[in-house]
Structure formats: C-alpha cells, structure tokens
C-alpha cells in the first residue's frame, strides 16, 4: 500500500505533470499558490504551452482570438515559476514501482508525485472514406488550422454529431459563410444531455440561421474525387454534398498511459475525491478522470472547464498537504450565435422540467427536478437564474414547481435544504 501522506516539499522533490490543457495548468498554478517548493516538469505532446480549448470551436475558429490569448499562462510564467516544459513530447509508459515516466524520445523522468492530465481524443467514425481529404476533427490547435484552411476554400460542410461541440462548430462555420448540414444519429440534437424542449429550441435556432439539421440518420460512408471529399452518404441512401465533413461524435478518455502502470481505469482513470488514483503517488485530473460526484452519489467523467479547474485544485491541495477545497456542483456552458447557454448540475434522471421565461424571447431557464429536488438548470441568456440555481442544486433543494416558474419569485428564497 503506497504512502498516502503528502510529499514533504524540498527543492529536490519532483512533480511530473503529463498534459497540456486546463487541468494541467491549474494543477501547476495551484501547487505554486500553495507554496510547493518542488521542481515541476510538464510533459505535453503538442508544441504549445497549456491552452484553453472552448474557444477552438468558437472565437478561435472564426479568427476572433489570437493564438497567444488561448494560452493559460505565458511561456515566461513557467520559467519564472521553476516549471520545465517538455513540449512536443509524448509520455508512453509509467513504471509505478520505480516511479518513472518513459518518454517517446527514450528519456525517463523520475517523479515523487505524478499528475495525469492526459485529456481525451475525438471518437473516430469507422466508415469507408474517412481518410479522404476534407474529413476532419476538432480537438486541438492543429485541427483548427486544418479546418480554417479547408473552410477558406470550401463551400459546404457536413457536421457529423449534434452535441454541444458539433452545434458550436456549426454556428461558427455558418457565420463564416459556409453552407452547413448537421447530421445526428439520435432522434434529436443534444439528446444525451438535455430535455426535448431545449433540443427543439436549439434545432430551431440553427434552422433560423440557415443550417440544415438531419436527425435519426447515420453516416454510411464518405465519397470523393481525387482523394477529396465531395459527399456524405447516409445509411438510407441519401446523399449530402459537402467539401468538408467535421466529425464531432464525442470523445474518449486518454487512459492508455495509466494502464501501462497498472492503474485502475473504467471509462477513464478512476480517482477518489482528492483526484488520487489507485496508486497513491499518481493523480488524474480533467477529461481523463472518472471521479466521484459528491452531489449525486455516483461517479462519472465530466468534460468541462469547471471540472478541469476543480480537479487541478483538488490534486494540488492533496499533494501539498492542504485541506480539500469545496467541491462545487458541475457546471458547463455553450455559445452559439448570440446565445449563451449556461448549465449547472446534471439533468440525468429528471422527472419534471419547469420553464421560467419565454423561449420565444431567447431568454429563459429550464429547471430539472427529480422527486421534487432541483438537480440541474439550463439557462439561455439568463445568467441570474444560472448563478442563483447553483447553490440550490448543491444543497439538494426541494422546490415548488410553481415558484420556480414564477419570475417574480427570487430563487434565493427557495434555499431550504432537502431533508
């Protein structure tokens, strides 16, 4: 059984962080805020310091944000804080017994504590023609560069997948002047994450902006000429002309590195509330981690900026021997056209939806109840409802549906904890 006590930080203590996203950056920043006197090495397989990913499908794709603004910390900050960057380098194996990380250049790094912030990879679509030029994914900076180049020369795009990333990309590409078709295999867009009412609202929004939405449809194959995409063929034989196909059918956790070290994995790297894995010297944070959801009595992976930040703070506090930070209820956001959707909580298992405001005004909130307890909210251009609902969700508040629906009733007056 490994020693679970915090590391006694000295200048010779070595913490290795593998990953180049929000969770990695937050872990390092929090360690330094805690005064951790240790050497830190960040290993990232991209050529860029840790950067934020949400703008990739929105402002950065549209050219409204410079590359430098994506970066979470400047390169100078890492130098000033004694953080060694090993960029363009992939960690390929972990030896937990010897506490070593092996890199793809055959170098090895010895660690006292290891933090896996390895993120996720776009799920591949296993159909014929997927290797044609113009069939793309959207997960990192290089993906966006390829998509921008294709969009500059293209006229039409088929977005395969009607989740948040697919719809955000569809909105951005439409605003960039392309003809856009969204292809969703489920009966409605956003089916996995929200109610039919919210799905209908966003489908109507995209149609209003000239996007074609095809649901209950599966891609059978991609066809092209001279190794370039020209059309998408559906399983019912329908053909959709397209210069570009952007595949956004979800992501898979990057847990292969953890598995090399015999660390427990189950739809991600299994961690406890402190982001510690089955090996006490190894932590996992962000998209790759399968974590306890303390407000819901179960475990799951969360794919969000909030989750990455929170888990980075939890891991850093544990390593530094500090008290565990308070865990917030999960929250997310999505921006499409001029709308901002803010989500608090997890609506899975709801049995009642209560709407405050009028969807026709594009400013409203949908509250999700389970046995009378508020478990989530979808707030469209309604930041007040989002912020007010968060503590109610965290406290498992039993709410009266009529009061939730009444915009004259302040949500804070409903803050009575469910027994």
Concatenating the DSSP letter of every residue in 246-274 gives: EE-S-EEE--HHHHHTT--BSSSEE--TT
Tell me how far apart the alpha carbons of residues 335 and 182 are, in angstroms, rounded to a whole number. 17
Closest CA to 376 of 416, 348, 341: 348
In this predicted structure, what is the pLDDT of residue 7? 55
3-state secondary structure of 197: helix
Predicted local confidence at residue 154, as pLDDT: 86
Listing DSSP states for 318-380 in one string gives HHHTPPPPPPPPPEEEEEETTEEEEEEE--TT--EEEEEEEGGGTEEEEEEEETTEEEEEEEE
Q: Cα separation of 263 and 402, whole Å?
A: 48
Q: What's the residue count for the chain?
A: 419
Helix axes 164-175, 196-208, angle to 10 degrees: 20
Q: What is the mean pLDDT of residues 3-31?
A: 85
C-alpha dist (Å) from residue 334 to 132, 163, 231: 30, 10, 29
What gap in Å lies between CA 22 and CA 272, rounded to an integer? Answer: 20
Q: Which of 356, 270, 344, 284 is nearest to 314 (CA)?
A: 284
Class of domain 338-414: alpha beta
d(CA 138, CA 298): 30
| CA–CA distances in Å: residue 235 to residues 133, 134, 166, 217, 245 | 21, 20, 20, 7, 16
Same fold, 14-121+252-320 and 338-414: no
CATH class of 135-249: alpha beta
Closest CA to 320 of 25, 119, 112, 43: 112
Q: Is the pLDDT of residue 6 over 70?
A: no
User: What's the pLDDT score for residue 5?
Assistant: 54
Kindly list the domain boundaries of the chain, sorted by start residue.
Answer: 14-121+252-320, 135-249, 338-414
Closest CA to 308 of 113, 91, 81, 52: 52
Phi-psi region of 239 (alpha: psi -120 to 50; beta: other; left: phi over 0): beta
Q: What is the pLDDT of residues 306-345, one digit of tens each?
A: 999 999 999 999 999 999 999 999 999 999 999 999 999 9
Span 33-46, mean pLDDT? 94
The CATH classification of domain 14-121+252-320, taken from the options 3.90.550.10, 3.50.50.60, 3.40.190.10, 3.30.70.270: 3.50.50.60
pLDDT score for 283: 98
pLDDT digits (tens, 9 = 90+) for 117-152: 999 999 999 999 999 999 999 999 999 999 999 999
Of 133, 154, 116, nearest in space to 291 by CA: 116
């Amino acid at each position: 059984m490994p020693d679970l006590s915090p590391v006694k930080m000295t200048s010779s203590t070595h913490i290795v962080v593998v990953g180049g996203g929000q969770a990695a950056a937050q872990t390092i920043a929090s360690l330094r805020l805690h005064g951790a006197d240790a050497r830190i090495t960040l290993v990232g397989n991209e050529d860029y310091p840790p950067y934020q990913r949400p703008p990739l499908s929105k402002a950065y794709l549209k050219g409204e944000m410079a590359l430098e603004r994506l970066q979470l910390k400047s390169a100078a900050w890492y130098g000033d804080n004694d953080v060694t960057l090993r960029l363009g380098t992939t960690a390929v194996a972990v030896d937990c017994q010897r506490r070593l990380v092996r890199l793809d250049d055959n170098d090895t790094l010895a660690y006292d504590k290891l933090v896996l912030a390895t993120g996720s990879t776009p799920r591949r679509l296993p159909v014929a023609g997927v290797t044609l030029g113009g069939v793309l994914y959207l997960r990192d900076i290089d993906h966006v560069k390829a998509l921008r180049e294709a969009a500059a020369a293209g006229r039409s795009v088929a977005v395969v997948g009607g989740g948040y990333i697919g719809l955000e990309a569809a909105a951005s590409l439409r605003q960039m002047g392309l003809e856009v078709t969204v292809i969703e295999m489920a009966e409605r867009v956003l089916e996995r994450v929200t109610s039919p009412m919210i799905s209908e609202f966003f489908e109507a929004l995209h149609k209003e902006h000239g996007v074609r939405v095809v649901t209950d449809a599966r891609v059978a194959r991609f066809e092209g000429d001279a190794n370039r995409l020209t059309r998408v063929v559906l399983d019912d034989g329908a053909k959709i002309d397209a210069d570009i196909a952007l595949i956004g059918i979800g992501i898979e956790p990057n847990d292969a590195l953890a598995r090399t070290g015999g660390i427990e994995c189950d739809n991600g790297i299994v961690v406890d509330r402190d982001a510690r894995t089955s090996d006490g010297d190894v932590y996992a944070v962000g998209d790759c981690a399968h974590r306890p959801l303390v407000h819901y009595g179960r475990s799951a992976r969360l794919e969000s900026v909030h989750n990455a930040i929170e888990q980075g703070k939890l891991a850093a506090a544990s390593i530094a021997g500090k008290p565990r930070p308070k865990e917030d209820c999960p929250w997310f956001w999505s921006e499409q056209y001029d709308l901002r959707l803010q989500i608090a909580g997890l609506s899975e298992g709801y049995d009642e939806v209560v709407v405050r405001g009028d969807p026709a005004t594009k400013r409203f909130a949908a509250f999700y109840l389970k046995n009378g307890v508020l478990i989530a909210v979808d707030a469209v251009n309604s930041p007040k409802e989002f912020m007010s609902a968060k503590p109610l969700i965290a406290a498992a508040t039993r709410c009266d549906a009529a009061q939730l629906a009444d915009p004259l009733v302040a949500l804070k007056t409903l803050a009575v904890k469910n027994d």
